Amino acid sequence: MTYVSPRELIAPFLWVGQRGLQVMFQGYFDDSGTHDGSRIAVWGGLIGPSENFDQLDRRWRALLARPLEGKPPLKKFSLAKCINGEGEFSSYNQADRDLVRRRFREAIIETDVAALAYIVYAEDWEQILTARDKEYMGKAQNICFKSLLQDMTKYAVGENEHVGLYFDAGQQGLDAKAILYAWGSTHPEFNEKVSVTFSAVASLTGLQAADIVAGEAYRHGLHLKDPKKHPTSAHFEDFTARQNTLFAILDGDAIRKMMVKWRIKMRSEFGIAV
């Protein structure tokens, strides 16, 4: 797996902006493991120039129309349902599911967009944070979402760079709205350079592609947590070996260190004892 800084992910695309032309980036992000009791929480997806996502959209829709020979068109691609042979994939055998999973993955790789995911050990989060901590920090997925906003702000730093972000509408809850409001209030450059849209996964092929990244990141997090029970897959290894990727992981030790600093800051700057 290749670990690079968020800015390095899109470095190949930045020469256009440096020449004075406007660069429009798009980012599509979905969640995984955000249900109660999950061991891992993830926000993950893709970012790249808008024209690259136009290419991905054409490839994706062609695959939806004809996923495999003899199979009916798909309404959307869902990694979890594909892996488990559920819903539209109930008639697919294991070989079919592996093949169609690879075809949609290839569409992402061939489009040349960057993949990134933010993974937190949710069960460690629940054990380490006190009830008072959680009043301010909320669920584990919140730190993933905030980290995503932080890095997306870093993306659109050039005079001619702008980012349009698209998120799964299923996560447009109070936490997401509060985090967006707080981040925008303290980072005006985010409001100036970044636009945010929540949409149904079925309606945007970019979000369906993000579902693959989030799903693979979730399974990778489980593998890191318990490699014997959750071995890594050939699909994940192929994707990370060939795709420009950043998988940021917040494990138990990192959570403890983060919370020590956060509690000190809350006391010193806001006079709040946590």
**Residue type for position 6:** P
Indicate the average pLDDT of the chain. 87
pLDDT in tens, 93-129: 999 999 999 999 999 999 988 899 999 999 999 999 9
pLDDT in tens, 99-108: 999 999 999 9
Positive or negative torsion for Cα 4, 260, 45, 17: negative
3-state secondary structure (DSSP) of residue 169? helix
**Residue type for position 77:** F
Which residues 6+ apart lie within 8 Å of 258 measured at CB? 143, 250
Q: What mean pLDDT do residues 158-162 have?
A: 67
Which residues 6+ apart lie within 8 Å of 104 measured at CB? 60, 63, 77, 209, 212
Q: Which region among 57-66, 159-168, 194-203 has the lowest average model confidence (pLDDT)?
A: 159-168
DSSP tag of 88? G
Angle at 211 between CA 210 and CA 217, to 5 degrees: 90
The percent of residues above 90 in pLDDT, for the chain, comes to 58
Question: What's the rounded Cα separation, in Å, for the pair 87 and 202?
Answer: 14
Q: What mean pLDDT do residues 165-176 have?
A: 85
Report the pLDDT value the prediction gives residue 4, as an integer from 0 to 100.
Answer: 41
Question: What's the rounded Cα separation, in Å, for the pair 19 and 105?
Answer: 32
How far does CA 257 lie from the centroid of its chain? 24
Query: Residue 270 pLDDT > 70, yes or no?
Result: yes
Report the pLDDT value the prediction gives residue 19, as an integer from 0 to 100.
Answer: 42
Report the pLDDT value the prediction gives residue 14, as an integer from 0 to 100.
Answer: 43
3-state secondary structure (DSSP) of residue 123? helix
Question: What's the rounded Cα separation, in Å, for the pair 81 and 83?
Answer: 5
Query: Residue 17 pLDDT > 80, yes or no?
Result: no
Q: Using pLDDT thresholds of 50, 70 and 90, give the confidence band for residue 268.
A: confident
pTM check: above 0.95? no
Q: What mean pLDDT do residues 74-84 have?
A: 96
Cβ atoms of 30 and 43 within 8 Å: the answer is: yes
Q: What mean pLDDT do residues 201-212 have?
A: 95
**For residue 32, which of 236, 183, 220 has the smallest C-alpha distance?**
220
Question: What's the rounded Cα separation, in Å, for the pair 8 and 108?
Answer: 19
Higher per-residue confidence, 173 vs 217: 217
Report the pLDDT value the prediction gives residue 61, as an integer from 0 to 100.
Answer: 97
Question: What's the rounded Cα separation, in Å, for the pair 25 and 12?
Answer: 13
Report the pLDDT value the prediction gives residue 269, as an integer from 0 to 100.
Answer: 78
- List, in sequence order, every residue forming a beta bridge with 47; answer none if it has no partner: 27, 114
How far does CA 181 lie from the centroid of its chain? 20
**What is the gyration radius of the CA atoms in the chain, in angstroms?**
19
pLDDT in tens, 122-148: 999 999 999 989 988 999 999 999 988
